[in-house]
Each structure stands twice: as structure tokens, then as C-alpha cells.
Amino acid sequence: MKKEKVTTATQIRRVIAYIVLVIITILCLFWFYILFINSTRSHAELTKGFTLLPSSFIAKNLGNVLLHGTLPIARGMLNSLLISASSAILTTYFSAMTAFAIHAYRFRGRKAIFTFILAIMMIPTQVTSLGFVRLMTSMNLMDNFIPLIVPSIAAPVVFFYMKQSMDATLPASLMEAARIDGASEVRIFNTIVIPLMKPAIAVQAIFAFVSTWNNYFLPALILHKDYMKTLPILIAQLRAADFLKFDMGQVYATIAFSIFPVIVVYLLLSKYIVGGTTAGAVKG
């Protein structure tokens, strides 16, 4: 009887958990659905109010934005892809390399360096933005992608996550065995550590890509020419158009167009999220 009661209670809790998860999933996806529905409607239809049914203006909205618009939305998409992909690759690789150095080697000042890197996490981007813009101006790097890509090498948040993941999943005995076999430190990192850390790297690559893709503040300070701007800046310019040129259908179509690459990245790397997040959160 007790086993039957325990089994029944477990099943009830499981059903309740699934119901709650389904409700949360619907609530999360509902806003994406509304976005795509609105992207299929014209400006006149949008002014009439809310509806759950799609319309037939998606092709016209995208055509007006991509082919007949005054802003280079397609070029902005390529700019955002280049900056986001480059930043994701650099930040995950070099943050993993830094975490490997702190995790694998015992040297004087190791804890102080770790503490210093964590302290940098507390400094907001806005505090250093003025000095950063002045530096880029003096180096003639305004309207250039380099200031938006190269600084991503130093990412304290990604470093901290990688360090925690290595503490949980990267045994010292494995590295010692590789050294005994004659492997160099660079080879150990590239052929042993990187494959072993693939789930954590994939998770951080997703977060880095999405963060850079949605970044508006720093690109708006660095990029001034329309053909160099990223999608968030161009979308803001679309929304800021005067009354005669403002078209809400085009704005919604551009936003839907802009989140498509993010969805693709999530779909490609989503299988690593749960495993990578768990590995980074639990220290073995």
C-alpha cells in the first residue's frame, strides 16, 4: 500500500510538473508567435488592433525593407553575423585557454589573478565607454569592426564559467598522462581540453552570439555609416522614422528577420545547453 501511495504521489507530481512546463513553454513561445503574426500584417491592419490570424503582407513587408528601403537591412544582417560569430569564437576559445591556465597550473599569484578577473566583472560597460571611444578615435578605428570583435577576447564571465566547468569535468590525471606521453601544452589544450569542454563551449558560444547580436550600445558609439551598422541600430532607425515614413509592418518584419539567425544557432547547439549548464554549475 505504501509503495502504491508513493508511486501515485510521484505520478501526480510528474503530471503537475509537465503541465506547468507546458504552460510556461506556451507563454514563452506566444510572444514569438505574435511577432511573426504581426510581421505578416500591413501598417493599416496593425492600427486596427490585435489578432491571432496571419495576414498576407509578409512578402511585401520584407520586400519594402530589403529591396526598396532606404536602410541597408541585408548588409546589416551580414555585419551582425560577422561580428557575432567572430566574437563568439574568440571569446570561447581564449576564455577557455585562460581558464585552462588557471585550472591546470600552480604558480604564485594564481589566486590573485583569478580574483582580479572576477573583479572586472563588476565594472559596467557604460563606465569605460567614453575612454574606449576616445582610444578608438585616436587609433582611427571608428566605423570599423575591430573594436567590436577583438575586445571580446577578454570576457570575465565566460572565463569564470569555463573555470567552473573545468573544475567539475577536467581531471588533472588526464593532463598528466598526456604530458607523460610527450604532448605539448598547446596540443593538450587543442586536442584534449577543447573536445572535453565542448558542451560548455557550445553553451557559452550561444550566449556570446546572442549577447553580441543584440548589442546596441557599443556599436552605436563606434559605427556611424549606414553600410557599417548592425541590425539593432538599423531597427532603431526604422522605429525612429517620421510619421510619413513610419511603417509598423516593416518594423515587425525586420525584427522577425533579425531573430532568425539566433533561432538557427539555438537549434544547432541546443542539445549542449542542459549538459553544459549542469557541468558548469556542479563542482565535482
Distance CA 269, CA 267 (A): 6
pTM for the predicted model, two decimal places = 0.82
Which three cell numbers, joined as nine digits, stand for 185?
Answer: 601544452
Q: Among all chains, which residue has been given the C-alpha cell 536602410?
A: 71
Q: So where are the chain's domains?
A: 2-57, 63-281
pLDDT at 275: 54
pLDDT in the model for residue 6: 55
Buried/exposed 262-277: b ≥16 CB within 10 Å, e otherwise: beebeeebeebeeebe
Distance CA 242, CA 1 (A): 72
Pick the CATH number of 63-281 from 3.90.180.10, 1.10.287.130, 1.20.950.20, 1.10.3720.10: 1.10.3720.10
Let me know: does 79 contact 261? Beta carbons within 8 Å: no
Q: What is the pLDDT of residue 274?
A: 60
Residues 6+ apart with CB under 8 A from 28: none
Report d(CA 235, CA 38) in Å as an integer: 15
Match 570561447 to its residue by C-alpha cell.
Answer: 92
Q: How far is CA 87 from CA 83, 191, 209, in A?
A: 6, 22, 7
pLDDT reported for residue 79:
94
Amino acid at 78: L
pLDDT in tens, the chain (284 residues): 555 555 777 888 888 999 999 999 999 889 888 888 988 888 888 888 888 888 888 888 888 887 777 788 889 999 999 999 999 999 999 999 999 989 888 888 888 988 898 888 888 877 888 888 999 999 999 999 999 999 988 888 999 989 988 888 888 888 888 888 888 888 889 888 888 888 888 888 888 998 999 899 899 999 999 889 999 998 888 877 655 567 788 888 888 888 888 888 887 777 766 655 444 444 44
